Structure 1
Amino acid sequence: MNLYIKALHIIFIVTWFAGLFYMPRLMIYNTEAGQQPEPARGILRSQFGIMMKRLWFGITWPSAVLTLIMGGWTLWSGGWLNNFGQHSWLHIKLTFVIFLYAYHYSLHVLLRQQLAGTFRYSSQQLRIWNEVATIFLIAIVMLVTVKQNMSVVWGLTGLVLFVVVLMSAIRIYKHARERKRM
């Protein structure tokens, strides 16, 4: 039974991350729709609003809740809670998971703002925010896979280097887009 619960946990993680990856993209498109003349702006924003609500409330939120339930069940049924103090990698992973849920909530706040017609962030800022889920995914998967064999120093160094490469890629993409407009 434990393997089925673990499999469901992984499945819901995948669907949750699908929502976390796609929601900011829709927010970016919705923000950029504001540059279009009417009636295109209204049509696009209406359609993006529908898409965002369906994705967020039909896939992302249910997947986040089911990930939490199945993850808790896996911790409990797998005996992880009995030896919790012996698994430092698990403490670090669960800390990342807490921050991931905070990120999820931040997207919820952004969604509510956009649905209300408030656009506080540029598409470039949203592109950067879009990559936060990628950073969490890499950190969590590395911790779960490598566990005790991972050096904290090497793990953090690798994560920081990944963030630097990711931010550089975003900057290069921004410059390429600006050149294309000229």
Structure 2
Amino acid sequence: MYQYVLAIHIIFVVCWMAGLFYMVRLFIYHTEAQAKPEPARTILSEQFEVMEKKLWWIIATPSMYLVIAAGATMLYLVPAWLKAPWLHVKLLFVLGLVVYHFICQSKMKQMAKGVFKWTSVQLRLWNELATIILFAVVFIVVLKNAVNWIFGVIGIILFSLILMSAVKIYKYFREKK
């Protein structure tokens, strides 16, 4: 039974992450559409709102709840996992991802009301946070107690700096055109 629940857990982690990654890309395009002249701005904004709502309520949010349900089921089936220190760290990152999810939901609602507080560059950096959390969770789960926390933290910080630099370089070349 555990293997089936684990498979469901992994499948919906992939779906949830895909939803989060694509949602923030839609936010970026939605934000950039605000610089377009009318009627393009209105047409694009209406289309992005439809895409965002469908992605959010049909894929991202149900996937998040299924990930949590499958994870809770695995802990019910193997309660000994609760004694493993690596699991506590993983759950902390998952909690962070749930908070990230609801912040994205708040952004979606703001944009639907015509409120655009973040620039497309800020949204690109925001998108990298989910990537960093994903990397951290995968390494924690795969390496478990073999994780050397000092090297792990240094690695995540370096990876974050590389991602942020890539965003800045992309912005530079994009503005250069």
Scaled by the length of structure 1, what TM-score is found?
0.95
Distance between the aligned counterparts of 1:159 and 1:82, measured in 2?
28
The answer for unaligned runs of 5 or more in structure 1 is none
Note the C-alpha offset of 1:49: 0.5
- Superposed CA deviations along residues 31-85 of structure 1, whole A, max 9, x for unmatched, are 00011111111100010000000000010000000100001101111x2x33523
* Alpha-carbon separation, structure 1, partners of 2:120 and 2:164: 15
- Report the counterpart of residue 155 of structure 2 in structure 1: 158
Q: Tell me which amino acid in the other structure corresponds to 1:96.
A: F
In 1: Cα distance, 2:164 partner to 2:81 partner:
38
Pairing of 1:23-62 with structure 2 (within 5 A):
23-62=23-62
Does 2:140 correspond to 1:143?
yes
- What is the match of residue 124 of structure 1? 121
Cα distance between partner residues in 1 of 2:93 and 2:119: 26
CA distance in 2, matches of 1:13, 1:168: 27
Q: Distance in 2 between matches of 1:61 and 1:84?
A: 25
Distance 1:50 1:58 in 2: 12
Name segments (4+ residues, structure 1) moved above 3 Å. Answer: none
Match of 1:82 in 2: 80
Identity level (%)? 47
| In 2: Cα distance, 1:23 partner to 1:84 partner | 32
1:11 alignment partner in structure 2:
11
RMSD: 0.8
For each residue in 1:73-128, what CA deviation from the matched residue of structure 2 results, as whole angstroms up to 9, or x when unmatched? 01111x2x33523x111111111011110111110110110011111111111111
The DSSP-based 3-state class of the residue aligned with 2:114 is coil
Contact 2:31 2:120 in 1 (8 A): yes
| SS of aligned partner of 1:131 | helix
Amino acid of the residue matched to residue 140 of structure 1? V
